[in-house]
């Protein structure tokens, strides 16, 4: 199921899609499996700007994403320079156990044509 998704989707969206496809599955099961898959690293989780968690099956190596704000379509990206920069900076401040989050959002080429640009200020 998840294998055919090209972007981040919420548990509820995945559940709805499965029902629509005919699967007789409960919402709780979807949540349970997603949580499990997230723990094993089988899927990536990120929190959308509206607070909802979204899931996406992708490679297990450390990477980040370029995510379409409108349709959820995601592309894996890597930024070795950023990783080093973040680690070095945190160490300079005496921080340990360093991790980081980095996501790039935008409107994908397809959605750029159909969705009005958002007017919020920059983040």
Phi, psi of 44 (to 5 degrees): -95, 145
Among 2, 7, 16, 31, binds DNA (CB under 7 A): 31
Q: Are 48 and 10 in contact (CB under 8 A)?
A: yes
Q: Which of its own copies, DNA, none does 33 bind, CB closer than 5 to 8 A by kind?
A: DNA
Looking up tokens 């899931």, which residue turns up?
55
Interacting residues with its own copies between 91 and 110 (CB under 8 A): 93-109
Give the C-alpha separation, 60 to 63, whole Å: 8
Question: Shortest distance, CB of residue 118 to its own copies, whole angstroms?
Answer: 7
Q: Considering the rule CB under 7 A, would residue 28 count as an interface residue with DNA?
A: yes
**CA distances, 57 to each of 37, 54, 94, 98 (Å):** 9, 10, 34, 24
| Residues contributing to the site for its own copies (CB under 8 A) | 41, 47, 51, 53, 62, 66, 68-69, 75, 77, 79, 81-82, 85-86, 89-90, 93-109, 112, 117-118, 121-123
């Amino acid at each position: 199921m998840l294998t055919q998704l090209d972007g981040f989707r919420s548990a509820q969206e995945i559940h709805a899609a499965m029902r629509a496809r005919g699967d007789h599955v409960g919402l709780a099961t979807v949540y349970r499996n997603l949580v499990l898959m997230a723990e094993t690293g089988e899927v990536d989780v990120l929190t959308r700007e509206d607070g909802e968690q979204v899931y996406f099956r992708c490679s297990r190596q450390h990477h980040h994403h370029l995510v379409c704000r409108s349709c959820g379509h995601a592309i894996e990206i890597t930024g070795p320079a950023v990783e080093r920069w973040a680690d070095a900076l945190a160490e300079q401040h005496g921080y340990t156990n360093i991790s980081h989050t980095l996501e790039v959002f935008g409107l994908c080429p397809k959605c750029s044509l159909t969705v009005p640009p958002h007017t919020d200020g920059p983040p």
